[in-house]
Amino acid sequence: MKKSIYLLALCFLILNNLNAQSRFQLENGVQIYLSESGDKTELLELLNSDKKPIDDFRDQVYLLDSTVSARYDTLLMDVFPGTRRVFVRNEQGGELETTTWTYSITVSDWVPTTKINYTINPLDQSRINITSNWNSDNQSWEIASRSIIENDVNDTLSSRVTNQVWNSSTNDRNNYSKTTITVQSDVSTSTFEVWENQNWRFFNRRMTEFFPDEEYYKITFDTWQTGPQEWQTTQQTYLRYDNGKLVLQDIYSGFGLSDLKNSIKFEYFYNDENLQIESVRSNYSQADQIWLLHSRSLQEYENGLRTNVVNQNYILGSLQWVNNTRTTYTYYDFDLVNRTLSLYWNSGIQDYDLISFQDHYYGLFNTTSVFETELYNLTLYPNPVNQSLYVNAFSSEFAFKILDLSGRIVASGISGNSEIEVSELKAGLYFLTIESTDRKTIAKFIKQ
């Protein structure tokens, strides 16, 4: 009895300690982590405590894209950290490094798990991605695998990806798998091979054909048969469009072209006035030779941003739709932080319960400005903007670049009158980087 009481008390202390160190909140659009003592640690300090981006990417403008996930315990009514992932990209959108952490209850802190480093050849954009795993005993990174992405110099759409795993006993890399993408006219083929007995062996392939006159794609999935040494089709998917909008997705399954039968279909309905997209899934009953409703998803948008997704299942017995899951997307004052909440329908209380959430932080930083000098005050107006964007902090001529959320440069030029034309941009959130003779700074704006 005493032992049971002791174990219960120990569990209570552990949970209380975890609760105290796992709460998150947003302050001024920035992810804040509350420690046990209540001290606040800003996102950059939390995610990069060793200031690695400063050492590796000094004097560069880079995009920090981080994701913090957590789960919600309905019994304890508290949030517990799960994983954290950080992408560091350069000004052209090229990824430099990706690091993933998990939260450890044992040490009450984030522990690194994996890291991917990217080396990009600027001539043909070929790259090598090296994945390393964290060795907690040695407190160091150990190479686990690498991917080699080679682009066809004569055809930018064709490429080959070779995956290799690290053999610690021989300190060498062994081939593991290979994907080859070839594009000819309106046909794209992706072939997957595995390394077996010191040779490459076909495994499966996907062939995509585009028929522009009829506005549809046909995607064929084949599996390699080692006995007869031939490809066998196992699935075909037809994507049908109307004025550029996907309206129908038909999936046929079977073993061989002659055996393909109706399997699943998705129908898409658009409400442009209310900015809603509804997709309905039906399964084909071979026994009854009819389509049966299965599920549906309703997506809602606002200012070009997805805000809500509701998923429902169709109950054949009662012939009605029943709520299943819901995902909400929150954009704080159109800032660069958004929160994704995952919820499920609790039929007992007839309401949604929180499952987990993810906080996404996008930040475009000049390493020198952010950590060594004071940022210049920059005001953009009107914001949101339709046509012309005005900058009030520069009286002389300045060079500018406009980047989207992926870090891709979508516009650039030189302005001599504090006015930048943005009417050609699509609706969404953008970064504006400005550089003059004496300063360089960054701001963000919304294109309506």
CATH class, 43-370 region: mainly beta
Mean local confidence (pLDDT), 248-272: 95
Residues 6+ apart with CB under 8 A from 402: 409, 410, 411, 412, 420, 422, 425, 430, 431, 432, 433
The pair of three-digit structure tokens given for residue 296, joined into one six-digit string: 């549906």
- Can you give the pLDDT at residue 367? 34
Q: Which range, 79-83, 156-160, 192-196, is most confident?
A: 192-196
Average pLDDT, rounded, for the chain: 75
pLDDT single digits (tens) 199-257: 999 999 999 999 988 889 999 999 999 999 999 999 999 999 998 889 999 999 999 99
Mean local confidence (pLDDT), 296-307: 88
The pair of three-digit structure tokens given for residue 280, joined into one six-digit string: 């309905």
Strands 440-447 and 428-435: antiparallel
- Can you give the pLDDT at residue 76? 63
- Can you give the pLDDT at residue 50? 33
- Can you give the pLDDT at residue 305? 79
> Is pLDDT above 60 for 80?
yes
> Is pLDDT above 50 for 120?
yes
Q: What is d(CA 257, CA 250) in angstroms, rounded to the nearest whole number?
A: 15
User: What residues are paired with 444 via a beta bridge?
Assistant: 431
43-370 and 374-447, same CATH topology: no
HSE at residue 217, side-chain half, CA atoms within 13 A, is 18
- Can you give the pLDDT at residue 39? 36
Q: Which of 304, 301, 235, 293 is nearest to 266 (CA)?
A: 293
pLDDT single digits (tens) 16-33: 333 333 333 333 333 333
- Can you give the pLDDT at residue 79? 63
CATH class, 374-447 region: mainly beta
- Can you give the pLDDT at residue 173? 80
Q: What is d(CA 421, CA 207) in angstroms, rounded to the nearest whole number?
A: 41
Mean local confidence (pLDDT), 415-420: 79
Q: Whole-structure pTM over 0.75, yes or no?
A: no
- Can you give the pLDDT at residue 201? 95
Mean local confidence (pLDDT), 292-299: 97
- Can you give the pLDDT at residue 419? 84
C-beta separation of 420 from 401 below 8 A = no
Concatenated DSSP letters of 302-334: ETTEEEEEEEEEEETTTTEEEEEEEEEEEEGGG
Q: What is d(CA 207, CA 118) in angstroms, rounded to the nearest whole number?
A: 28
> Is pLDDT above 90 for 132?
yes
- Can you give the pLDDT at residue 429? 73
What is the domain partition of the chain in residue ranges? 43-370, 374-447
- Can you give the pLDDT at residue 321? 97
> Is pLDDT above 60 for 372?
no
- Can you give the pLDDT at residue 263? 97
C-beta separation of 390 from 378 below 8 A = no
